[in-house]
Amino acid sequence: MTRVYLIRHAEAEGNIYRRAQGHYDGAVSAKGQRQIAALAERFRDERIDAVYSSDLARTRATAGAILRYHPLQLHTDARLRELYLGPWEDQPFGDLQYRDPEQLHNFNDDPAAWRVPGAESFAALTQRMRAAVTDIAARHDGQTVVCVSHGMAIRALTADILAVPSSEIALVPHGDNTAVTLLEAEGETLRVLYACDTKHLPPELSTFARQTWWRQSGAKDMNNVRFERLDPERYPRVYTDFYRRTWQDVHGDLEGFFPGVYLDAAKRHVLADPDALVCILRPDGERVGITELDTLRGAEEGLGWICLCYIEPQYRRMQLGAQLIGHAVSRFRALGRRAVRLSVYEGNTGALRFYEEYGFRTVGETEGVSTRLLVLEKEL
């Protein structure tokens, strides 16, 4: 008999940016690194004989929690990967809810009925996960192994072991980031001893503590926003009104604000890349934020620039700003950039804390229209 700890990866980009990431290779977040440290302490005194993970970055990083106190080799197995999402890969969940609510419902509440051309089926995911775990267990008969995998992959295998039909998968809980499931394996037989345990995570390290979609079947998270391109030629007032509120918010007045200058720049940015200027909308259709990218500036240095990033005040602290950052990361990574930069007024401590939370660090300074600006950079 073999004991198998199935561990979900630590919080990663898809979790904070609210984007569907199956095989998309997103990085672990700053909070994810703290979750990994907590996971390491949980397993510090456990006997572990072998460590496996999927070959994606977020699981390999999470496996480092076990390796911190156990001098073992990490084995990667692609069969432990997340469900391959095909055309859904790296799409915002808010966009998916808007474009294909029926299939998103199936994905969450009846995954065997989920049908997206070019994507992997739930049955295929379940089959490869079972094969991977039974093979690994047989390789380490009588030992204790750790397998670091992904949320849907672990849920699929758990439901299969417990004989829970797809239409009743709500009976199998979602696992928070770094949640631990313990299996016993004997030959082809797998047993669940416990599932989705997070006793090592204090509330401030829980990803799920800030989210509501997972708490009940069919739930819709009103903070999963969708993205809409904004054409500054057709809707100049929408753009300049957003920029005016941004300026007022930062400077306290409109001195030095010249809307025509910024509108002309926005037109150039959209001409270079139609996805450079987007608004975000809540499920009820309300526009609650905007971001603007400059895909030309810094291109030769492998950089991308965020020119504008604004959330309406009443919708701040709801993880909407993170989704704007996610758009920039997705777009510039697709363009092959090594980092993304932006400028922040040095006295805007709230904005500085926000960007630092999402991986930006100060790399320089520059002069703004009326104040000194800090240049922040996030590696991609």
Contact 190, 133 (CB under 8 A): yes
Can you read off the two tokens belonging to residue 243? 């920029």
Can you read off the two tokens belonging to residue 199? 């006793």
Q: Say how many CA atoms lie within 13 Å of 267 toward its Cβ.
A: 12
State the virtual CA torsion across 134, 140, 143, 145 in degrees, nearest 10.
-60
Which segments of 105-179 are extended strands (E)? 144-149
* 3-state DSSP assignment of residue 196: strand
- Separation of alpha carbons 310 and 288, rounded Å: 8
Give me the CATH topology for the region 226-379.
Answer: Aminopeptidase (3.40.630)
Q: Which amino acid is at 92?
A: P
Contact 298, 304 (CB under 8 A): yes
Q: Which of 145, 137, 142 is nearest to 188 (CA)?
A: 137
* CATH topology agreement for domains 2-215 and 226-379: no
Domain boundaries, the chain: 2-215, 226-379
Mean pLDDT for each consecutive 10-residue tract of the chain (380 residues)? 98 97 96 98 98 99 98 98 98 97 96 97 98 98 98 98 97 96 96 97 92 56 91 97 92 87 97 98 95 97 97 93 97 98 91 94 86 93
What's residue 218's pLDDT?
Answer: 53
- 150 carries an active-site annotation: no
Can you read off the two tokens belonging to residue 28? 């672990």
Can you read off the two tokens belonging to residue 170? 């709500």
What is the CATH class of 2-215?
A: alpha beta
pTM for this structure? Answer: 0.92
Q: Kindly report the number of other CB atoms within 10 A of residue 73's CB atom.
A: 7
The residues near 153 (Cβ < 8 Å, ≥ 6 apart) are 54, 80, 81, 82, 83, 125, 129
What's residue 212's pLDDT?
Answer: 62
Q: What is the DSSP string of 1-32?
A: -EEEEEEEPPPBHHHHHTEE-SSS-PPB-HHH
- 9 carries an active-site annotation: yes
- Separation of alpha carbons 251 and 351, rounded Å: 13
What's residue 211's pLDDT?
Answer: 67
Q: What is the pLDDT of residues 3-43, one digit of tens each?
A: 999 999 999 999 999 999 999 999 999 999 999 999 999 99
- Separation of alpha carbons 174 and 152, rounded Å: 8
The residues near 74 (Cβ < 8 Å, ≥ 6 apart) are 51, 52, 53, 60, 63, 67
Contact 19, 27 (CB under 8 A): no
Choice among 11, 13, 82, 377 that is catalytic: 82
Contact 276, 291 (CB under 8 A): no
- Separation of alpha carbons 314 and 8, rounded Å: 33
* 3-state DSSP assignment of residue 39: helix
Q: What is the pLDDT of residues 117-150, one digit of tens each?
A: 999 999 999 999 999 999 999 999 999 999 999 9
